[in-house]
Amino acid sequence: MNKQTEILQAKIAAAKKGGGEPRIASQHKKGKLTARERIQILLDDNTFEEIGMLVSHRCTDFGMEKEQYLGDGVVTGYGKIHGRLVYVFSQDFTVFGGSLSETHAEKICKIMDMAMQNGAPVIGLNDSGGARIQEGVVSLGGYADIFYRNTKASGVIPQLSAIMGPCAGGAVYSPAITDFIMMVEHTSYMFVTGPNVVKTVTHEDVSSEELGGAHTHASKSGVTHFACANEVECINNIKKLLSYIPQNCEEKAPKYAYTLQNELRPKIEKLIPLNANQPYDMKEVIAELCDEESFLEVHKDYAENIVVGFARIAGRSIGIVANQPASMAGVLDINSSKKGARFTRFCDAFNIPLLVLVDVPGFLPGTDQEWNGIITNGAKLLYALCEATVPKITLITRKAYGGAYDVMNSKHIGADLNYAFPNAEIAVMGAKGAVELIFKNVIDASENPAAALEEKVTEYTDKFANPYSAASRGFIDEVIQPQVAREKLIKGFTMLENKVAQMPKRKHGNIPL
């Protein structure tokens, strides 16, 4: 072995040690993996090609020139997941707490540029204490360079963020722009200002976990789409998620081999109560409609009155947006509208067909909703579904009332196929409420108001609380028995596979944010 080879091998060995064995041991003690261990689990065996291993920082202030680590706190490169190309960066907390420097940012920007040029997803494994204070505005500029690329890549290539440790201050905005965020319970957190600043400014005493932990962001803020029990589960979830989505906006999602068999699902009819006021779990209906165990729920713990996620129907990847009668009767509110809109726009950006399952009594009334902008936020879901040009199929399982009928992918806003079960109720409002408005004077003048009310409710129900008025006008394409619903969806999505839709020429729309 010659001297030059020895020098190279020594540098490679030093780079792979990151901040050194004691800091690696400290990382493990916290229940966390190192940057390189995470990449090893994420990518297919022997596919990782590192870029920028020998990069070092350029700072000479505060004695920084005496402390150099090859790689400068982030491992970057490319590899494969399930045989498909991906780009990845993994921040190394053992080097200056994973803090972002000028060169650290340059490495991330380089692989983001390559991902855009080659049309492949980019995955960020975030574990950083924030901007490197010793570098001042240079490190802040590095963040902005990353944000700019996140925005340019949005809707062009999938961008996934896994929060594996701290993510605070300006660092939170890169993941926030990406398509999906995953967090690890008890070892990761995100916030713009930490507990100490919060206590100083607002006098609130709160822990990092309460302020910005995985459970908080999964259930209260909706910032994270997935909260995972540990890092291995988080990484495996990334791999599973990628199996539903294409490499870029020009491609379609992978289609799995599927042989058609008996597609009747008689169980569906038993899942949906005839009583329109009785709850049921829409996820059970989804399980019957989709390929076995193919449903991957997104935002599971946030705005539970709407269900969104990916699934497969006859091997084809689809996105699902569904009202959830088991939570708040499936009513639409501010949070569920935002959740549904965000997911819809992702699916549309990446050519993933949409299935919308409808059982909605309307929008949630009340001062809290009105004062916090249900009008604007409800319009987000409406806008997203109007804008979407991917194949869109709607199935009304039980009821669709008022403006929520329009919003939930009705024929009027561009749905391709609209189905309804025979017991579906499509009306401006429920029968009792409608009768109390229409026949108020008649009921009040009656000798037996209760009997008069019941008579008019029955009359209204027979005339309007069914799918046939909508079907007679072509708003519903077909009223179907529940057991054939899966069969209809398979045929419908197959028929729509090559759908082409032209939008008006414009720079971009102005969604009501």
Residues 200-247 pLDDT 10s: 999 999 999 999 999 999 999 999 999 999 999 999 999 999 999 999
Question: Which residue is catalytic, options 153, 404, 415, 427?
Answer: 404
217 close to 224: Cβ distance less than 8 angstroms: yes
Q: Could you tell me the pLDDT band of residue 276, with boundaries at 50, 70 and 90?
A: confident
What pLDDT does residue 443 have?
Answer: 79
Q: Could you tell me the pLDDT band of residue 453, with boundaries at 50, 70 and 90?
A: confident
222 close to 335: Cβ distance less than 8 angstroms: yes
Q: Are strands 392-401 and 425-427 parallel, antiparallel or unpaired?
A: parallel
104 close to 132: Cβ distance less than 8 angstroms: yes
Q: Could you tell me the pLDDT band of residue 60, with boundaries at 50, 70 and 90?
A: confident
- Is the pLDDT score of 1 beyond 80? no
Q: Which residues pair with 392 in a beta bridge?
A: 354
19 is catalytic: no
| β strands within 175-254, DSSP E | 180-184, 189-191, 226-228
426 close to 406: Cβ distance less than 8 angstroms: no
Average pLDDT, the chain: 93
What pLDDT does residue 46 have?
Answer: 96
Mean pLDDT across the stretch 355-365?
96
DSSP state of 172: G
Mean pLDDT across the stretch 38-42?
98
What pLDDT does residue 444 have?
Answer: 76
Q: What is the 3-state secondary structure (H, E, C) of 462-493?
A: HHHCCCHHHHHCCCCCEECCHHHHHHHHHHHH
Please tell me the distance from the alpha carbon of residue 147 to that of residue 151, in angstroms, as a whole number: 6
Give the tens place of pLDDT for each residue, 121-177. Answer: 999 999 998 888 777 788 899 999 999 999 999 999 999 999 999 998 888 999 999
Q: Which two tokens stand for residue 165?
A: 């440790």
What pLDDT does residue 451 have?
Answer: 81
Please tell me the distance from the alpha carbon of residue 495 to that of residue 81, in angstroms, as a whole number: 30
At the second CATH level, the architecture of 3-242 is Alpha-Beta Complex (3.90)
Q: Which two tokens stand for residue 102?
A: 């000028």
More confident residue, 59 or 246: 246
The structure's pTM equals 0.94
Distance from the Cα of residue 355 to its chain's centroid: 15
Q: What are the domain boundaries of the chain? A: 3-242, 267-429+466-495, 431-464
Q: Could you tell me the pLDDT band of residue 427, with boundaries at 50, 70 and 90?
A: confident
The residue whose two tokens read 């491992």 is 75
Cα 218–221–227 angle (5° rounding)?
A: 10
Q: Are strands 122-126 and 166-168 parallel, antiparallel or unpaired?
A: unpaired
What pLDDT does residue 265 have?
Answer: 97
Q: Which two tokens stand for residue 160?
A: 């996934």
Residue 288 is which amino acid?
Answer: E
- Is the pLDDT score of 67 beyond 80? no
What does residue 301 show for φ and ψ, rounded to 5 degrees?
A: -100, 5
What pLDDT does residue 59 have?
Answer: 75
Q: Which two tokens stand for residue 289?
A: 């409609």
CATH number of the domain located at residue range(s) 267-429+466-495 in this protein = 3.90.226.10
Query: Worst-scoring range by mean pLDDT, 238-242, 352-356, 442-446, 473-477?
Result: 442-446
Give the tens place of pLDDT for each residue, 396-416. Answer: 999 999 999 999 999 999 999
- In percent, how much of the chain has pLDDT > 90? 79
Please tell me the distance from the alpha carbon of residue 359 to that of residue 288, in angstroms, as a whole number: 16
What pLDDT does residue 275 have?
Answer: 86
Q: Could you tell me the pLDDT band of residue 459, with boundaries at 50, 70 and 90?
A: confident
97 is catalytic: no
- Is the pLDDT score of 447 beyond 80? no
Q: What is the 3-state secondary structure (H, E, C) of 290-349?
A: CCCCCCEEECCCCCCCEEEEEEEECCEEEEEEEECCCCHHHCECHHHHHHHHHHHHHHHH
**Sign of torsion over alpha carbons 334, 336, 342, 344:** negative
The residue whose two tokens read 């053992």 is 94
First to last CA, the chain: 63
Tell me if residue 26 falls in helix, strand or coil.
helix
Please tell me the distance from the alpha carbon of residue 357 to that of residue 324, in angstroms, as a whole number: 9
Residue 57 is which amino acid?
Answer: H
Phi-psi region of 6 (alpha: psi -120 to 50; beta: other; left: phi over 0): alpha
Please tell me the distance from the alpha carbon of residue 165 to that of residue 213, in angstroms, as a whole number: 10
Q: Kindly give the residue spans of alpha helices, DSSP state H, lying in 74-224.
A: 102-118, 137-153, 173-177, 195-202, 208-212, 214-216
Q: Which two tokens stand for residue 391?
A: 């194949």
Domains 3-242 and 267-429+466-495 are alike in CATH topology: yes
169 is catalytic: yes
Distance from the Cα of residue 474 to its chain's centroid: 33
Question: Which residue is catalytic, options 124, 165, 169, 362?
Answer: 169
What pLDDT does residue 251 have?
Answer: 96
198 close to 164: Cβ distance less than 8 angstroms: no
Q: Could you tell me the pLDDT band of residue 80, with boundaries at 50, 70 and 90?
A: very high
- Is the pLDDT score of 430 beyond 90? no
Q: Could you tell me the pLDDT band of residue 498, with boundaries at 50, 70 and 90?
A: very high
Q: What is the 3-state secondary structure (H, E, C) of 253-270?
A: CCCCCCCCCCCCCCHHHH
Q: Could you tell me the pLDDT band of residue 89, with boundaries at 50, 70 and 90?
A: very high
Question: Which residue is catalytic, options 170, 194, 222, 402?
Answer: 170
The residue whose two tokens read 């009340």 is 366
403 is catalytic: yes
What pLDDT does residue 456 have?
Answer: 81
Mean pLDDT across the stretch 303-308?
98
Q: Kindly give the residue spans of alpha helices, DSSP state H, lying in 364-484.
A: 367-371, 374-387, 402-407, 431-438, 440-445, 449-464, 468-472
